[in-house]
Amino acid sequence: MRLLLACLALLVAANAAAQIYRWTDEKGHVVYGNEPPAGTKPEVVQDRINSYGGPPEVRQAVPVVLYATSWCPYCAQARAYFAKKGVPYIEHDVEKSAAANAEFKRLGGRGVPLIVHGANVMRGFREQSLDALLARNGR
């Protein structure tokens, strides 16, 4: 029993020590993960600790995810918005990736762009709505 508890404690400690990295892929998209590919210059994503009188809550930076197509003018507006505001995001082309298309449909997507930040999903692009969404999630 003690051996089982010791192994469990080691697994929890190893998982807590995992680093999250941010890097730019060959297409210029910002990508997050725990193992950056060779040849990239990753940055360590800093944990944010919020405490409100209780135990500290560790929050990872939540990336913005854009489901888009290459030809969509509203998708282009969203990309320009992210560039102007300096917002890192992950883009998935729903026409070129079956996995991205499946996730897009699971999220209720019927048109592009579909923007996801945390648990919030925004359909279409409107700058004021996206400002409010990012402000709500601390970005």
74 and 47 assigned to the same domain? no
Q: Is the pLDDT of residue 50 over 70?
A: no
39 and 72 assigned to the same domain? no
Helix, strand, coil % over all residues of the chain, rounded to 5: 35, 25, 40
36 and 81 assigned to the same domain? no
The total of other beta-carbon atoms located within 10 Å of residue 54's CB is: 6
Q: Each residue of 55-95: pLDDT tens digit?
A: 655 555 678 999 999 999 999 999 999 999 989 999 999 99
Query: Which comes out higher in pLDDT, residue 115 or 61?
Result: 115
34 and 92 assigned to the same domain? no
Task: List the beta bridge partners of residue 65.
Answer: 90, 116
DSSP 8-state secondary structure symbol assigned to residue 139: -
Cα 94 to the center of its chain, rounded Å: 17
* Mean pLDDT (whole number) for 92-110: 94
The total of other beta-carbon atoms located within 10 Å of residue 46's CB is: 9
The reported pLDDT for the residue numbered 18 is 62
96: CATH: 3.40.30.10
Range of the domain at 20: 2-59
Find out whether 69 and 94 touch, Cβ atoms under 8 Å: yes
75 and 116 assigned to the same domain? yes
Q: Is the pLDDT of residue 31 over 90?
A: no
Average pLDDT, the chain: 80
Residue where one domain finishes, among candidates 27, 44, 59? 59
The reported pLDDT for the residue numbered 35 is 75
* Mean pLDDT (whole number) for 100-108: 94
44 and 68 assigned to the same domain? no
The reported pLDDT for the residue numbered 19 is 73
45 and 87 assigned to the same domain? no
Count structural domains, the chain. Answer: 2
CA nearest 29: which of 81, 114, 111, 87?
87
76 and 116 assigned to the same domain? yes
Residue type, 52: Y
